[in-house]
A and B are shown apart, each in its own frame.
Chain A
């Protein structure tokens, strides 16, 4: 039945993004997000993390380059419900008159007919997703009546209900207590073991090595990407977070291209 392969990678192919004020947010970014792994996207504020995220999700059109998800262009992948997205908390209007259940049901719209009338299966999936993040008891709450951690879990449930094989989480640990962070991480590890492709943007360096299999270091371009053990070195981190002259960044990004496009910067 399933026409698409169950494991999907994200291939970011030489993307540049320029905003209308002529600011170059991202240039020549190339990386691969592997399936069946949790990948962290790391970099200082304003390094282009959210720009790269938005490009991958198709929220903005890069001025150069392309993104492929499981070999498909982004829009096609989205039409096939392959990509789920968990937004940053401050992107959500928490006063909006919808309940937790309504929000999670929004993850199912792509499976419904034009009128979006939920079938029994859709309701079942929504309840399963809510139970999986332990939010079933809160399903009738208006979304603003939740704590920070509960808000995150509600939107995580929406991503689960969508059954996308690729899940992107934008800063999932901001405004979340340690207990919730641990629960989210546990859930992500379960999802990884089920074969999902997971990309997490974060600036919480401390927790990365505990659960992220792979890391992409970003500052205007991809500085390093690969297994966390290899990329997460003092040198690389200094290069990413320290004030590095642009010249050297360019030098690094324009190293002779190897067959596997973006090379892992060796320590």
Chain B
């Protein structure tokens, strides 16, 4: 039956046309998967206040990628070791000096990143620095997909198994300790899944933009709800949709994939910041006004009573 409205046809084409290419199908489902992993973890990272830590890890993986290629081992292993190593280094420097944490993070991750730059320009390899920095999901290789799936799969499994403990750890580490949980272990669990997620997202978003995929979905959800379960759902929907449509956009407009994904995420963030029912700018303004009107009325009342 030919009952498509005429106006919907271009949209249908817009969606279906790219799917005739194998690389597009691949890019779409890989970025959707990465979006899912990032969304779940981002709820924890936003609540724990670790976005700067995520930024640090994402930059610190660069030397790991280069070394991994030089040694001919999977890039994910090198990236993970260096990313996780950076967090250990941060913890160590912080405990041994009088510096504040943000300074320590700044020193360590830029150091790692700079080392990566030096290595990538010195060690002969076929690594394209541009692809590490900004991702290359349209040209992702089979091997890289497997590594992304493994890193993301481990992350999802770990979070699923420990989700309640991790939430308690983010909310009230003292209580976690008081009921005899191993908080040190949870600290490192969360750090390592953070590093794993960054490794998984490396090909999609690139190290510069991966932090957005780790912070923005959770932030959007946090503005929209007061329940952690709903936060997970909202975060996932926002993230996966942005990833899928961002990949489409990059195909149709011939622009950077990671860039368009993050632009979409940011748009969603702005929308929720303005229109969120309870914590949005408009809602707050409205509450303030109606409260002010109430005060005014109240004052008038007092005035009338006095006169």
Interface residues of A (CB under 8 A from B): 20-21, 57-59, 75, 78-81, 83-85, 87, 91-93, 96-99, 102, 106-107, 109-110, 114-116, 142, 144, 158, 162
A80: B residues at CB distance < 8 A: 180
Given contacts A75-B180, A109-B164, A109-B181, contact A96 B174 (CB under 8 A): no
B164: A residues at CB distance < 8 A: 109, 115-116
B171: A residues at CB distance < 8 A: 93, 96, 98, 106
Cα separation A75 to B179 with both chains bound (whole Å) = 9
A21: B residues at CB distance < 8 A: 98
B178, A78: Cβ atoms closer than 8 Å:
yes
- Closest Cβ–Cβ distance, residue B156 to chain A (whole Å): 15
A97, B231: Cβ atoms closer than 8 Å:
yes
Considering only residues 154-185 of chain B, those with a C-beta below 8 Å from chain A are 161, 164-165, 167-168, 170-172, 174-175, 177-181
- Closest Cβ–Cβ distance, residue A94 to chain B (whole Å): 11
18 further A-B pairs in the complex, CB-CB below 8 A; given A97-B231, A106-B168, A116-B164: A20-B98, A58-B177, A59-B174, A79-B180, A80-B180, A85-B175, A85-B178, A87-B174, A93-B47, A93-B171, A96-B170, A97-B227, A97-B228, A99-B226, A109-B164, A109-B168, A110-B180, A162-B179
How many of chain B's residues have a CB under 8 angstroms from any CB in A?
Answer: 23
A110, B174: Cβ atoms closer than 8 Å:
no
- Closest Cβ–Cβ distance, residue A87 to chain B (whole Å): 6
B225 contacts the other chain (CB 8 A)? yes
Cβ contacts A to B, 29 pairs, < 8 Å? A21-B98, A57-B178, A58-B178, A59-B174, A59-B177, A78-B177, A78-B178, A79-B180, A84-B178, A87-B175, A93-B171, A97-B47, A97-B222, A97-B226, A97-B227, A97-B228, A98-B167, A98-B228, A99-B227, A102-B228, A106-B171, A106-B175, A107-B179, A109-B181, A110-B179, A110-B181, A115-B161, A116-B164, A162-B179
A96, B177: Cβ atoms closer than 8 Å:
no
Closest to B47 in A: A96
- Closest Cβ–Cβ distance, residue A81 to chain B (whole Å): 6
Cα separation A144 to B227 with both chains bound (whole Å) = 12
B98: A residues at CB distance < 8 A: 20-21
A92, B227: Cβ atoms closer than 8 Å:
no
Given contacts A81-B179, A115-B161, contact A92 B231 (CB under 8 A): no
Cα separation A79 to B181 with both chains bound (whole Å) = 7
A85: B residues at CB distance < 8 A: 174-175, 178
Considering only residues 204-256 of chain B, those with a C-beta below 8 Å from chain A are 222, 225-228, 231
- Closest Cβ–Cβ distance, residue B231 to chain A (whole Å): 6
- Closest Cβ–Cβ distance, residue B218 to chain A (whole Å): 10
Cα separation A97 to B226 with both chains bound (whole Å) = 4
A106: B residues at CB distance < 8 A: 168, 171-172, 175, 179
- Closest Cβ–Cβ distance, residue B187 to chain A (whole Å): 14
A116, B165: Cβ atoms closer than 8 Å:
yes
- Closest Cβ–Cβ distance, residue A264 to chain B (whole Å): 30
A92, B177: Cβ atoms closer than 8 Å:
no
B179, A109: Cβ atoms closer than 8 Å:
yes
A114: B residues at CB distance < 8 A: 161
Cα separation A173 to B244 with both chains bound (whole Å) = 52
3 nearest interchain CB pairs? A79-B180, A116-B164, A142-B226
Most chain A CB neighbours (cut-off 10 Å) among B168, B172, B175 = B175
Cα separation A262 to B102 with both chains bound (whole Å) = 43
B165: A residues at CB distance < 8 A: 109, 116
Cα separation A18 to B178 with both chains bound (whole Å) = 22
B228: A residues at CB distance < 8 A: 97-98, 102
Given contacts A78-B179, A109-B179, contact A87 B226 (CB under 8 A): no
Closest to A58 in B: B177
Cα separation A114 to B161 with both chains bound (whole Å) = 8
Most chain A CB neighbours (cut-off 10 Å) among B170, B179, B225, B228 = B179
Most chain A CB neighbours (cut-off 10 Å) among B170, B171, B228 = B171
A92: B residues at CB distance < 8 A: 172
Closest to B160 in A: A115
A87, B225: Cβ atoms closer than 8 Å:
no
- Closest Cβ–Cβ distance, residue B283 to chain A (whole Å): 15
A144: B residues at CB distance < 8 A: 226
